Amino acid sequence: MQEYPQTSPEGVANTDSTGWYSVAGAFVGFLFSYATLGVLLLSLLTEPLNSAFGWKRSEISYASMIFVVTAVTLSLPLGALMDRHGVRSILLPSLVAFGSILGSMYFLSPNVTHLYLAYFALGVAAAAILPNSYSRVIVGWFDKKRGQALAIAATGTALGMVILPPVLTTIIVTQGWQAVYLACAALVLLICFPSVAFLLRENPSIAKRVDNVALKGASSEEFRSATRSYAFWGMAIGFSCLGFGTAGVIPHIVPMLQDMQASDMTAAFALSLYGMGAVVGRLTCGYFLDRFPSPNVAVAVGLNPLVACLLLIVYPHEDTILFAAVLIGIGAGAELDLMPFMISRYLSLRVFSQIYAVLFAGFFIAGAIGTAALGFWFDRSGSYTAGLTLLVGASALAILVLFQAKRYPLSASS
């Protein structure tokens, strides 16, 4: 038996062709997202930037942390604006800014402060193109097929992880690291922006209800009430631990392989394997979320990064890293289906973007801390073992905490 009602009291449509058009638009938005053209791209550029400017691995990791922390911190006030005024008016200008800033990185200088300022600006632009914006639109269109719709849209990021690494690596190798920033800017401005602008539409009936609530001043109180609940804090702790255990590893997959003298294309292939894992994780997670209690699905999700990090500790070999990349991809892909689904079932749709922004911030700030921790321990000891041990513990804690969601009451407005 499922743990939630199949009909939403807020009148969410079960199916609508416009809803599926919006899923398609969100898919393209996820494909060229903060994750693929922000975090993944910087991972591919770690060694080229080290060669060009002499920056240490930990220094480049700090740029990733600055980018992520800036984006997720600003996503909260922007989420509140989206809940009140709609997604498109904030999302579309942010996509233009995101692409433009990527293009400006062609002019990076040897001063590492320039790198940090550039990724701070990129984080500001990325704050409105995080998953909470696209997911906010999708949950407004779907109820019974909500898990499936979220999974299909979010698979865009996973597919980007498959397709983009070899393409971007080829550009880096043949044209240089500067050219890849121009290529990424073109992808955002010439493909992503027009697709999202044309396809992504909000459910007008949901937008009207949310706007009426906001005008009455109830939205802020509902958000405060949600953040005081056991369900919210259980999810906050659980998803932050999952972020530490998965997102923290991703930027180090390529350097791990390069330490073993693997070729650039092998390292890029590892990221593609990560993306393939994420495709599998998102689609299977979406399928199971529509059929089984989400806390049970959360246990299966958390086991993937836990096993991956254990393998990297016990047997740090090229083949192991490639297999671990698949497991981490499955876990990371499924996590970003699980989060919006559990928010929509246990908390409130009316303040969905704000709640998602907070939990997503915890997820990726923890991931950024994990990234920096791995870089710190590697620079200090020449090994990833200590950092990976912390990640194993975080994944285990996440499993225990999220499984307790069975005990949380369901929201009346889910």
pLDDT at residue 106, as a whole number: 93
Cα–Cα distance measured from residue 328 to residue 254, given in angstroms and rounded to the nearest whole number = 14
192: nearest Cα among 29, 394, 325: 29
What pTM did the predictor assign?
A: 0.70
What length is written for the chain?
Answer: 414
| Domain edges within the chain | 17-406
Instruction: Show the CA angle centred on residue 258, arms to residues 256 and 259, nearest 5°.
Output: 65
The dihedral over CA atoms of 245, 250, 254, 259, expressed in degrees to the nearest 10, equals -20
Contact 402, 334 (CB under 8 A): no
Q: Which two tokens stand for residue 216?
A: 């009455």
- Cα separations (Å) of 211 from 18, 90, 140? 20, 16, 13
pLDDT at residue 392, as a whole number: 86
Task: Name the CATH superfamily housing domain 17-406.
Answer: MFS general substrate transporter like domains (1.20.1250.20)
| Ranges under pLDDT 70 in the chain | 1-16, 205-219, 261, 406-414
255: nearest Cα among 32, 31, 36, 49: 49
Burial 41-75 (b: 16+ CB within 10 A, else e): bbbbbbbbbbeebebebbbbbbbbbbbbbbbbbbb
- Cα separations (Å) of 167 from 29, 108, 174, 337? 18, 22, 11, 26
96: Cβ–Cβ under 8 A, 6 or more apart, which residues? 189, 193
Q: In this structure, which amino acid lies at residue 257?
A: L
Q: Which two tokens stand for residue 270?
A: 């590892």
pLDDT at residue 317, as a whole number: 77
Sign, CA dihedral 38-369-335-207, equals negative
pLDDT at residue 255, as a whole number: 76
Contact 310, 298 (CB under 8 A): no
Cα–Cα distance measured from residue 333 to residue 280, given in angstroms and rounded to the nearest whole number = 8
85: Cβ–Cβ under 8 A, 6 or more apart, which residues? none
* DSSP-based helix, strand, coil % in the chain, nearest 5: 80, 0, 20
pLDDT at residue 206, as a whole number: 61
Stated as kind and residue range, the H or E segment containing 300 is helix 294-314
Q: Which two tokens stand for residue 323?
A: 């297999």
